[in-house]
Amino acid sequence: MQVVLSHFEAVKLQSNQKRKNRSLIKRLTGVEDYRAQEQQRDAIMKKITVDNYGALKKNIASLSNDDKKIPSTNFLTLLNYLESDDTEWIKVIGKAISNAGE
């Protein structure tokens, strides 16, 4: 939810519990009483556009990428890889996945 809500505003969630974030989810997306039901998820996803992608990147850049810290996310790292012309990282991940299966 941290990444999703970051499309709309710089947020720093202290919990991943839906009930603790309901008022913020309602304020930013208009979805009331969020319980992650399919129609609620769909309503939120329809609000995510190419126009707010830049806001997402800007808003998550201020978050830690240390998963021991709250809030944190490594999503910006993934986006940077996906936007890069260098594809070597894909081979590294593929090799790691192959080796994990052995």
- 39-74, pLDDT tens digit by residue? 999 999 999 999 999 999 999 999 999 989 999 999
Is 101 a residue whose pLDDT tops 90?
no
* Residue 83: domain span: 2-100
| Total domains in the fold of the chain | 1
Distance CA 50, CA 54 (A): 8
Its sign, for the CA torsion 55, 60, 61, 62, is positive
Distance CA 102, CA 99 (A): 5
Q: What is the pTM of this model?
A: 0.83
